[in-house]
Amino acid sequence: MVNRFVLNGISYHGKGAIQEIPGIIKSKGFKTIFIASDPDLVKFGITKKVTDLLDANGLDYVI
């Protein structure tokens, strides 16, 4: 059985790059976003930076 996993071909880096996330999601027409994280990223509030941004823009997600 062959599985295929396609990653985004564009990466954003630098101060303020996280602010690009809502616009990208909306432009792609995504309905629900899957966030892959780990317990330490959740514990130290890194994942929350993304989920807060999604919440502020009315975007649905699952972790």
Q: Where are the beta strands (DSSP E) in 1-63?
A: 32-34, 60-62
Element (H, E) at 28: helix 21-28
Tell me the pLDDT of the chain (63 aa) as tens digits: 888 877 767 778 899 999 999 999 999 999 999 999 999 999 999 999 999 999 999 999 999
C-alpha distances out from residue 45 to 7, 8, 16, 24, 49, Å? 24, 24, 17, 22, 7
